[in-house]
A and B are shown apart, each in its own frame.
Chain A
Amino acid sequence: MDFYQTDLSQLHADLVNKKISATELTKETFDHIEANDDQVKAFLTMNKEAALKKAAEVDAAGIQDDQLTAGVPLAVKDNILTKGLRTTAASKILENFNPVYDATVIEKLNANNFINVGKTNLDEFAMGSSTENSAFFTTHNPWDLTRVPGGSSGGSAAAVAAGDVLGALGTDTGGSIRMPASFNGVVGMKPTYGRVSRWGIIAFGSSFDQVGWLTRTVKDNALLTAMISGNDPHDMTSSVKEVPDWAAQLNDDTNVKGLRIAVPKEYFEGINDDVHDVIKAALDHLESLGAIVDEVSLPHTKYGVPAYYILASSEASSNLQRYDGIRYGFRAKDVKNIEDVYVRSRTEGFGEEVKRRIMLGTFSLSAGFYDAYFNKAAKVRRLMAQDFDNVFKDHDVIVGATGATPAFKIGAEIDDPQTMYMNDVLTVPVNMAGLPAMSVPAGFSAKNGMPVGLQIIGKAFDEQTVYNTGYVFEQTTDVHKKAPKLGGQN
């Protein structure tokens, strides 16, 4: 099965009409993964045995027309709990952790009989922009194996780009779905904060974390996101708002005529020339289709990175207190007393970046520094949210680049945390305000042929307009049809 030649709706029709069985499809999927994952290294854990068993059950029961993902192989980022299937968050501290329950998003997918092929690599606890912070290995970008896939959902993005699966679940705290989507030439949507339950997601920054999909097409994304959305009594921040059938409204009539697009001038400051050219061409294209493109200002954009790293690290330092070596996870050997268990287990179990964030967070919250750092950043967060409100008073979407650069070389930035953090300058503002935003493939760098993503930001709970805009762009260009040639020059 060539996933670049089909989509979810087509695959579902093929399964219902018995053109292919779930078992055949699952076997072919594993053949494909086994042939290329030595190079890409997208997966931390394969779920082959259970996946084939599930596929056989699905075949035996017959595939219902109303179960869109029945028998469809999909992948799951390894910070999302899967009952009985090892879930590590790419951390040594959870290396042997087997969840006793499923995340709500997995429960919803199970109810639709999806096939979980395995768990994808990430930066440890989703903290990073390259997967180089994984405690186990770095994932390679299928477009150029010497480059990073972005992060933190780099394994999920690389698996989709490599044609392993049609979709993979990711999480986005400060850009962790959109940035790897941009680096890998795939679609990545971070829904509105509260749209998708966070129950069973290994917590990083609870007021920012949101689950979403990396897919090849916009329509697949809309279909799959609808499946995991909705209120969940287990997550008090999950919204009670009705979940629209976004995909149903994407059709041949969808257009951008009269769409009011805001382009923040700050989103062009400091971006690479090759990214600039692709984004400029994409905006010209949307304008030629009848969209009204306006330059606007989001004046607090440049404060997003410092404010985000204070707030998200503070939340992380609190969330990660639970890793104490007592009830689950790694416990250091030869410890003499309880204090030793805590300190040595955490010191030996966490990687460098995670420790750095815990330290930044603990510092920002500590006596004497709380007002200057945490509280100040929380006020800046309010101003950033107000910037968006002001622009959305007379615009429908905000459009710009997802990342300031295409995928960088493995090893290029890992020793320089500050430079690494600055990769997030165009993605964190959205998480600060809780808005929905999607990266869609916009084109390729004239310098190195790497994919460049267009970021489309919507009003809270207006995923529809974001999907519409992305869909029109996708359907009127050929960018998404190009597949990477693994190991070869693109």
Chain B
Amino acid sequence: MASKITEQQVKHVAELAKLEFPEDELGKFTTQLGNIIDMFEDLTQVDTDNVEPMTSATDRVNVMREDKAVKSSKEETDALLKNAPDTDDGYIRVPAIIDESEDGE
């Protein structure tokens, strides 16, 4: 079966996954992905009528715990913040949500 995926679709999926592929790699990547998806097509040979999907190998369901907040120590908070790329006075800094470079356009 011929590959079903196009460069346009790859771009769309990349957008959903928050990834970007440079134009010069897109062709190769689409081919690779297409080959793997062709392999996925083998599953159409399997009769799965009346088969329930299985999404986990555990038989445990609805395991509950007490809904209780746990307070973190200053040390823990500091250690967490040390892993953040950019912080300011106990907060994590992020760039503006709105692209300021577009203001003047």
Contact = CB atoms under 8 A, between A and B. Distances in A.
Interface of A: 84, 96-98, 100, 193-194, 207-208, 233, 236-237, 239-240, 300, 302-303, 305-307, 309-311, 317, 321, 324-331, 335-344, 346-347, 350, 355-356, 358-360, 362-364, 366, 373, 375-383, 385, 417-418, 421, 431-434, 460
A168 to B, nearest CB: 25
B101 interface: yes
A97 B32 contact: no
Contact of A378 (B14, B20, B55): B55
Interface in B61-105: 63, 65, 76, 79-80, 82-86, 92, 94-101
Q: Say what secondary structure dominates the interface of chain A.
A: helix
Given A337-B96, A434-B58, A360 B52 contact: no
A242 to B, nearest CB: 15
B94 A338 contact: yes
Q: In which size bucket is the chain B interface?
A: 35 or more
Contacts of B60: 194, 236-237, 239-240
A343 B54 contact: no
Interface of B: 5, 9-10, 13-14, 16-20, 29, 32-33, 35-37, 39-40, 42-46, 48, 51-58, 60, 63, 65, 76, 79-80, 82-86, 92, 94-101
B40 A306 contact: yes
Given A100-B79, A310-B43, 9 more contacts: A98-B82, A100-B76, A240-B60, A309-B36, A331-B85, A336-B95, A360-B33, A362-B13, A378-B54
B10 to A, nearest CB: 7
A359 B13 CA distance: 7
B43 A376 contact: yes
A327 B81 CA distance: 8
Contacts of A338: 94-97
Given A100-B79, A337-B95, A417-B32, A358 B17 contact: yes
A356 B96 contact: no
A356 B13 CA distance: 11
- The 10 A-B residue pairs with the shortest CB-CB distance, nearest first, are A434-B57, A378-B53, A331-B85, A236-B63, A328-B83, A379-B48, A382-B54, A337-B99, A193-B57, A362-B17
A359 B51 CA distance: 27
B97 A356 contact: no
B51 to A, nearest CB: 4
A296 to B, nearest CB: 19
A233 B79 CA distance: 24
A330 B97 CA distance: 19
A263 to B, nearest CB: 23
A382 B84 CA distance: 41
A359 B33 contact: yes
28 contacts: A98-B82, A100-B79, A193-B57, A236-B60, A239-B58, A239-B60, A300-B46, A302-B42, A303-B42, A306-B43, A309-B36, A328-B83, A336-B99, A336-B100, A341-B94, A341-B95, A343-B20, A359-B10, A360-B33, A360-B37, A375-B53, A376-B46, A379-B51, A379-B53, A383-B46, A432-B57, A433-B57, A434-B57
Contact of B18 (A84, A307, A336, A346): A346
Contact of B79 (A98, A350, A378): A98
A432 B36 CA distance: 19
A38 B92 CA distance: 39
A377 B57 contact: no
A132 to B, nearest CB: 16
Nearest to B10: A359
A385 B54 contact: yes
A358 B40 CA distance: 15
Given A207-B57, A233-B65, A362 B16 contact: yes
Contacts of B63: 236
A434 to B, nearest CB: 2
Contacts of A331: 85-86
A355 B19 contact: yes
Contact of A377 (B20, B43, B79): B43
Contact of A381 (B19, B37, B44, B54): B54
Contacts of A360: 33, 36-37
A434 B55 CA distance: 11
B53 A328 contact: no
Nearest to A338: B97
Contacts of B101: 336
Contacts of B55: 207, 311, 378, 381
Contacts of A379: 46, 48, 51-54
A240 B36 CA distance: 38
B73 to A, nearest CB: 10
B16 A366 contact: yes
Q: Which of B18, B39, B76, B82 has the most CB of A within 10 A?
A: B18
B57 to A, nearest CB: 2
Nearest to A233: B65
Nearest to B52: A382
Contacts of B18: 321, 324, 342-343, 346
Contacts of B46: 300, 303, 376, 379-380, 383
